[in-house]
Amino acid sequence: MIIHRLEQPAFAPYLGRRACIPDEPLVLRGLHPNPVNELLTRVPLSLPAPPRPERDTVPVDFIWEHSPEHVPAANVHRELADAPANFTPNRRLHHTRRIWRTTEQLPTTLYTAQPTINALAAYIQQDTHR
């Protein structure tokens, strides 16, 4: 029953607000000295379709809360008005915050077929035995 809920949840997990649904890849466990490198090189990745056999990498969109160090400073950012400032029902107010969007080329070796639960469990186990 629990495995079924993990593979097919009724509701998506969210980060603070129901509109803030996390997407892959995620660092799932443990502290890492370089979490960006962890995301780019180790975390299992599910895709709607398997990568083409001739490809070594697959493009994955990333949303950053801070300007990514590996992208030129002049990179265009976007502003979202989604930081709650006032919860009063008739006077709700949201401040703006900046986000940066990049497309990172991840190795196709990170791809795991659906369901990804086994690959994620192996990834977590690998972290606990370090």
Q: β-pairing, 78-86 with 57-64?
A: unpaired
pLDDT reported for residue 27: 62
The residue extents of the domains of the chain are 2-48+55-128
Comparing CA positions, the residue from 39, 40, 37 lying closest to residue 27 is: 39
Long-range CB contacts for residues 64-73, cutoff 8 Å, separation at least 24: 64/99, 64/100, 64/101, 64/102, 65/97, 65/99, 66/100, 67/100, 68/36, 68/100, 68/102, 71/100, 71/102
Query: Can you give the pLDDT at residue 57?
Result: 96
The amino acid occupying position 7 is: E
Mean pLDDT by 10 residues, the chain (130 residues): 68 66 64 82 85 93 85 74 87 90 91 75 67
Instruction: Enter the pTM of the model.
Output: 0.68
